[in-house]
Chain A
């Protein structure tokens, strides 16, 4: 069933990305500024503020052209977070005027202003209230009010203000068709037909439009007449907010008491998630510090969970490794939640280790050796001997068998780290005497080599080494390695 709305306000912020950037950085209002996106040299302008638009900086032009048009143009990279925050603030601001909102696109909100007479005043007063509300949060909005959403949107864009209910078509007649963002097909047709105003479009025979442009033509005609399409009003409601917080009456200086408070906060949060059949995928911890500062940490969990205990262990390790720089006066934990079904075990697969065990062990290891040194070891595709990478640990992928073929003839026992030795070379630069290997001094009875490997000449990690297989007078058969950059010799391993 379609909700009837008899008086709608449309709150629209022109060049919203630029407006959002200005809201985040108010001093930008004083100068020409544009929001850019893309990688040089294909960087393009997303939106420009009024001062920049005066210099001819428009959406879609290349950044280089924009700078040529306006040499003092300040550029800011497009930020989804900034736009989302501004839009959320706009919704909040509108929510303060009327509880019935429709979230259309960033920078555009429909507000049901019917029935606000006693509370706010007439339509003009409501428009004024909305305008002020937006301005109070740093967004320069335009407001149009009409009997339909379509007419209200056009009224906002065209600066018509309040349009009397029932008189939409008449009020919109003189508005340029360019005030509406049409689909390409409609826009091309209007351009070819020389249709310049909404009045001219409304005057076209409806049947003729249907025959030529199909349903899109009828929609365009409706829009020109200020008639809404039949989509129902999708009311915006405040989203659930997965956060638990605790303000303290005292200052906490030590980790133990802080963990006690955090335990209660996390348990509350996890209980809520459990009740909603959700699990936490990531957590954000914020603590307020005495003196006004803040300390925030984001924790990516090894696997989604709703158990409080492992989360607390992680928090304890995190805070132990990077403690807040001051006494704590408040704590808040916010969860990024996902449905529980997304992580259920698959039939026929070995169950992964208990999440709390895995998370706890990993957290311990990370604390000890750093995040880059924890994971599953995999051979790197490199000529560098023993080169490996630490891949993300996936318990399901761990296999007991190895694909590495074993040499049936000879096994090399590697010394890790290799032992530094002294080597005397002969006239052909071949090793003839080794000191400091297995025995104090040993003559080289026979040797094979050098086996030369080098790499990463393109970077700071350039390396190179010669390897020799030597039979020593003490009976050992060893692998010697010489670092080609330092000239040092090493006992790399012993053949068994």
Chain B
């Protein structure tokens, strides 16, 4: 019986040409009983291969082709768990000891880790190949003897391959002689690089990409023929009829290889416990304490909380997950103890245990959230807890804590497999096909708009429409290859925040690799693979808004105030008034153009409205047409109805419109008698990874359940329709609630602690939806004073400064374009020693470049040292080192130097400010034009709200946002800012087509249109667009993001 033991998938990056699943599918089709995946220096595809093989009834065998020092590749197969551990350790050692993307292993390494591994001698790149090819019998014999000495005679096979290659046959004869002489068994393999027909073309293209050449010049580096596919027993028997022992050896060896990924040996780390305590008991104690702290000692709520945590603890106990919760709790405790703001998000917010442990901040009891959305007994998956942390250094501190706590080889970031997609795939294939550069560009642009599921016929049509000659063989090949490579792995990246940890050594479970970022290691599997194999993952996600909140709170305390996020007043009227006005620039999640256009209509009055607001303005609900029914009901224009009276308690909060996934689960539970677990299964069946078969099964079950409760006919149909369409779009209520907390907190800070909030917001730019210039203008409109960059006062970051009995924001040196942080730090250090006497003194002591000091002069940052902008520009431009840097220059500093230049006018100051910092604290560009605009009948943004609906209006401003959402059917949304506020403009597809250029490229626009006022939302439907003269600076805007 033949078994292929040397298959290489596309996870042998840029060599293999098919997914592991494709190999399994083809093997199953050909009735092969087992298959071994042997990718180069990794087991990247092993989990997917394992899953697919188990599903297909094929025995998955695992191994890897290890790159030895010297470049030869040694295939090893895993016999048992120890062998797996050694393989992972070997790969880890090779990967961590070499630059990223490279790996080498010495024979000494192999000696230490040979147990449980079976070695093949490989193909043309194996350790015997060079000596055999050169006819060096002694060299080949010595190499084979060395392998036998390392692995043992029973664990070495001389691999023979037949690809109908004349030279290979000559080598094969020598290999057979060598094996017979050394009494080492032969093993036949084909080392397939692809499973499906046409794989040779992909493999050749990959060769070109790898070798940085094209097909016309790759020559003999390409495959000699198309014989590197997956061969079945019959084909191999025909090829190896003269070597039946080699053919049979694969099958015999396969029987010996008993390892599967079910036997991974992964163990979650033990949490250090108090003496004589079990993890479950310790968790129960911590939760009980948390419940007391959160809910107090008595009351109806605390009783419900106790019941809920008891229920959850029981499930956690049954699933033996107490240790996991303790470890997440431990990370949260570290954050709390180290001044790192942390909040759990996602479905964990459904858990009262998480709330009691302080992992999440949303009260699931009060919010009546559904635990089963988070954890279910039957799913057999680890719970998914995502922790939001401030971005940057604080988050890195937490990641490093996890490494330190569980060891460098005990924790790792999960991988993110970068795959061939769209443009990059088009470009690389075009290059490999030797298409001209302009054609590559054209194709790359073209494929952007292709759905990747497009059948080839559609691709060909697209190509023809783009002016490509589809009769040309290369163009036809391009379309086929582009489709074929979609989703094939390209290389390994790092997931943004997923961390896995293990008891003992993670590198015995999965190989670890060096990440691009120093101090990080990454495992070879992505988060889904880890989850499927039961490896626990904690997501440590960086969120800039968390940084803003943390910095804001620190700044408030600097000013003598205090803000405790846990103690914020729940229904602060100022906050809600601000939200109702859509005065939300800088507020988490509700600052986008679309959110602003809905806030006045939904008119949030309490926290839950904010939860709805965050969930509803998303592509899913918009496409699913849930927004308008909800808004109509909210405004009282439509009656609140339910598909069945039993659904009223579930949908009451959202006025009968299902918005959240939890509602879907509850509908199934109430209407059809599903358990929480069954309901979650239903959601998954109808979710993004839909399967027709599963959906049909679940629907039958749903209808049966409803029928038992007497729900039939139209009501039943309506419920099924709601569930099936909604499951795809629904947003988790718990997730939305967690985000709403951050949104409320940021709105609260904006409303009550403006200076601190804006300071933190500016320090964390770029973030959110708006450029710093818009944030500064917003701050000033709200009465927050912003002070310019000043070399005698500014730090690197923005700071708070007391001015005229109020706190003002002082812009930091980080806003000065081209100023190096190191130079700014030197400047601050020099200033701390003694004040600067003059610009020359400053330049000398801070070692600024001419360009840096000139920029500081142009933005008036040197003004406190005497002189106007132009005076200082003239002074600092002097190149004579003796005069600029010598000490006498300091002594002779002239506080009001004379100069021959004209002083800057308002427009020049504006241009200098934008050019030097990206923001201006002088008049808004539109204020400088106001007189002329008023003469043309232009209405200011602030005056629009006083206009009349459906009347003609003319507005003008600098374009700060351009949006063309995919859900808006070609409509474009512009935000025009003037000195009084922001005007929202809606551009129809027709007008956009006619005036595309000014709309996408002009920084200042004048728009004629019809004023629209609906539920407090003011917008202008454009009928004509005109560009206004540019200024000599770049106006920052958020375009089509």
Binding site for B on A (CB under 8 A): 39-42, 65, 68-69, 189, 192-195, 200, 203-205, 208, 211-214, 380-383, 428, 448-460, 462, 464, 466-467
Contact = CB atoms under 8 A, between A and B. Distances in A.
B224 interface: yes
Given A450-B164, A458-B473, A195 B437 contact: no
Interface residues of B, number: 46
A452 B204 CA distance: 17
B398 interface: no
B901 A452 contact: no
Interface in B852-909: 854, 858, 870, 873-874, 877-880, 883, 900-902, 904, 908
A460 B473 contact: yes
B222 A211 contact: no
Most buried by B among A69, A192, A467: A192
Contacts of A459: 215, 473-474
B260 to A, nearest CB: 36
Given A69-B997, A459-B473, A192 B873 contact: yes
Nearest to B218: A381
B901 A193 contact: yes
Given A211-B879, A457-B201, A41 B473 contact: no
A319 to B, nearest CB: 36
Nearest to B857: A192
Nearest to B163: A452
Contacts of A462: 473
A387 to B, nearest CB: 9
Contact of B870 (A40, A193, A211, A466): A193
Greatest chain A CB density within 10 A among B169, B445, B901, B904 is at B901
A-B pairs with lowest CB-CB distance, top 3 = A381-B219, A452-B164, A212-B877
Given A452-B227, A454-B225, A454-B226, A194 B908 contact: yes
Interface string B504-515: 000000000000
Given A193-B901, A205-B900, A382-B220, A65 B1001 contact: yes
Given A39-B437, A204-B900, A451 B874 contact: no
B854 A192 contact: yes
Which of A39, A205, A213 gathers most chain B CB within 10 Å?
A39
A356 B1001 CA distance: 64
A381 B213 CA distance: 13
Interface string B545-575: 0000000000000000000000000000000
Contacts of B200: 457
Contacts of B215: 456, 458-459
Nearest to B902: A194
Contacts of A449: 164
B473 A194 contact: no
Contacts of B219: 380-383
Given A383-B220, A458-B201, A68 B438 contact: no
B238 interface: yes
B153 interface: no
B990 interface: no
B879 A214 contact: yes
Contacts of B226: 454
B693 interface: no
Contacts of B908: 194
Contacts of A193: 870, 873-874, 877, 901
26 contacts: A40-B441, A41-B438, A42-B441, A68-B996, A192-B858, A192-B877, A194-B870, A194-B901, A204-B900, A204-B901, A208-B874, A212-B878, A214-B879, A383-B219, A428-B238, A450-B164, A451-B166, A451-B169, A452-B227, A453-B224, A454-B226, A457-B200, A457-B477, A458-B433, A459-B473, A466-B164
Contacts of B874: 193, 208, 212
B901 A195 contact: yes
Nearest to A457: B201
Contacts of A466: 164
B225 A41 contact: no
B821 interface: no
B442 interface: yes
A41 B879 contact: no
A200 B902 CA distance: 9
Contacts of A213: 877, 879
B225 A464 contact: yes
Nearest to B167: A451
B472 to A, nearest CB: 9
B904 A40 contact: no
Given A192-B854, A193-B901, A452 B225 contact: yes
A75 B608 CA distance: 60
Interface string B988-1012: 0000000011000100000000000
B164 A451 contact: yes
Contacts of A68: 996-997
Contacts of A192: 854, 858, 873, 877, 912
A275 B900 CA distance: 63
B165 interface: yes
Interface in B216-234: 217, 219-220, 222, 224-227
A457 B874 CA distance: 68
Contact of A203 (B217, B445, B900, B997): B900
Interface string B146-169: 000000000000000001111001
B768 to A, nearest CB: 29
A203 B904 CA distance: 18
A448 B165 CA distance: 11
Nearest to A469: B166
A457 B222 CA distance: 11
Contacts of B164: 449-452, 466
B984 to A, nearest CB: 25
Nearest to B201: A457
A411 to B, nearest CB: 15
Given A193-B877, A383-B224, A459-B215, 8 more contacts: A65-B997, A68-B997, A211-B883, A382-B219, A428-B238, A451-B164, A452-B163, A458-B433
A428 B235 CA distance: 12
A204 B220 CA distance: 70
Contacts of A382: 219-220
B473 A455 contact: no
A42 B227 CA distance: 42
Interface in B129-179: 163-166, 169
B854 A40 contact: no
Nearest to A193: B901
A194 B904 contact: yes
B441 A211 contact: no
B220 to A, nearest CB: 6
B438 A39 contact: yes
A192 B873 CA distance: 7
Contact of B879 (A203, A212, A448): A212
Q: Give the residue among B217, B445, B877 with the most A Cβ atoms within 10 A.
A: B877
A383 B445 contact: no
B904 A41 contact: no
Nearest to A205: B900
A189 B870 CA distance: 11
Contacts of B878: 211-212
